[in-house]
Amino acid sequence: MRERRGFTLIELLVVIAIIALLMAILMPSLQRVRQQARGVACKANLHQWGLMFAMYTDDNNGYFYSGYLHGSSSSMENGEWWRECMRPLSQDKKMWLCPTAVKSRSSVVVTTSSPAINPFDAWRVPASQGGDEGSYAPNGWMCNPPAGVTSLWGRSPIEYHWRTHQVQGAYNIPVFTEGWWVDGWPRHTDSPAAYGDRTPTLSSDEMQRLCVNRHGGAQYCLFADWSVRKVSLKQLWQLKWNRQFDTNGVWTKTGGVTDSDWPKWMAGFKDEY
């Protein structure tokens, strides 16, 4: 009877080497496919938010939330002013999270000065277990402040607010987008963050709250015409965040910005998508 012969050590090592080579070739492609799938899911989330914002404004004569809750501005802390308004329409917790940022910074007590781990963190408020989690944030300038209010949550002048989506140029006015934090109130003079791998200071240059590198130098935005599109992080300064936002400001090519002016982590990003 013929003796059965197994693999030799050399043959086994050759097979392992071939498998390792194939994995090395395929992994970048698989990683790109995974990133693309997350981008598609993020865009789908924002389309759903668009439907919900449309429903909310339709029920309120075209206007957004006031920024107040129960007649008081003291209830606005940590973005509660929009979360409570939108919660009845968005009870699926997955919709609050970009697929690239589903893990909250539960070990970090989020304050105006505490650093986070990286842009793939979700925020949680309050920071303890059981708080709201999310990785999206609204443009605070969409609020419709009550009559007689001159400053909403420390932001002024009040005339900067859009109040409604029924305005000219709605396709370039962001309503909801990626966020390090629960809200943002950008101005065209805001500087980009010096580093892209940590939470920026939350008390100034609020464009930094909404400039998050989760999609290869870009992010997805929901606009006031309820469309969703991918924009370069550099392109954020070309969007009309408030009524007086200069889309040809100092952080645009028209305004004179050069490649060397951007922080190193943004230098290689596209100017637009």
Work out the average pLDDT over 54-80. 82
pLDDT in tens, 156-187: 899 999 999 999 999 999 999 999 889 999 99
- pLDDT band of residue 23 (cuts 50, 70, 90) is confident
- Averaging pLDDT over each range in 13-17, 82-86, 140-144, which range is the top one? 140-144
- The whole-model pTM stands at 0.84
Q: How many CB atoms lie within 10 A of CB 270?
A: 13
pLDDT in tens, 190-241: 999 988 877 676 667 999 999 999 999 999 999 999 999 999 999 999 999 9
Could you give the count of Cα atoms lying within 13 Å of 59 in the half-sphere of its Cβ?
Answer: 10
Q: Which of 108, 99, 143, 103 is CA-nearest to residue 126?
A: 108
Q: Determine the pLDDT at residue 107.
A: 47
Say if residue 31's pLDDT is above 80: no
> Is the omega angle on the peptide bond into residue 157 within 30 degrees of 0, that is, cis?
yes
Share of residues in the chain with pLDDT > 70 (%): 84
| Apex 122 CA angle, 119 and 125, nearest 5 | 135
Domain ranges, ordered by start, for the chain: 36-255
Amino acid at 257: V
Q: Determine the pLDDT at residue 142.
A: 98
- pLDDT band of residue 38 (cuts 50, 70, 90) is confident
Q: How many CB atoms lie within 10 A of CB 90?
A: 18
> Is the omega angle on the peptide bond into residue 146 within 30 degrees of 0, that is, cis?
no
Q: Which DSSP category does 7 fall into? A: -
Dist CA 133 CA 125 (whole Å)? 7
Query: Are the beta carbons of 166 and 235 closer than 8 angstroms?
Result: no
Contacts of 164 (CB under 8 A, 6+ apart): 57, 62, 63, 64, 144
Element (H, E) at 83: helix 80-86
Tokens found for residue 144: 């419709």
Dist CA 257 CA 265 (whole Å)? 16
Say if residue 75's pLDDT is above 60: no
Query: Are the beta carbons of 232 and 269 closer than 8 angstroms?
Result: yes
Three-state secondary structure string covering 184-249: ECCCCCCCCCCCCCCCCCCCCCCHHHHCCCCCCCEEEEEECCCCEEEEECHHHHHCCCCCCCCCCC
Beta bridge partners of 184: 139
Q: Determine the pLDDT at residue 261.
A: 94
Q: Calculate the average pLDDT of the chain.
A: 86
Tokens found for residue 190: 């805001």
Q: Determine the pLDDT at residue 72.
A: 59
Dist CA 63 CA 96 (whole Å)? 22
Q: Which is higher by pLDDT, 7 or 235? A: 235
Q: Determine the pLDDT at residue 18.
A: 81
Edge to edge, what strands does the sheet with 121-125 contain?
Answer: 103-104, 121-125, 132-134
- pLDDT band of residue 37 (cuts 50, 70, 90) is confident
pLDDT in tens, 107-135: 444 444 455 456 778 888 876 666 788 99
Q: Determine the pLDDT at residue 257.
A: 94
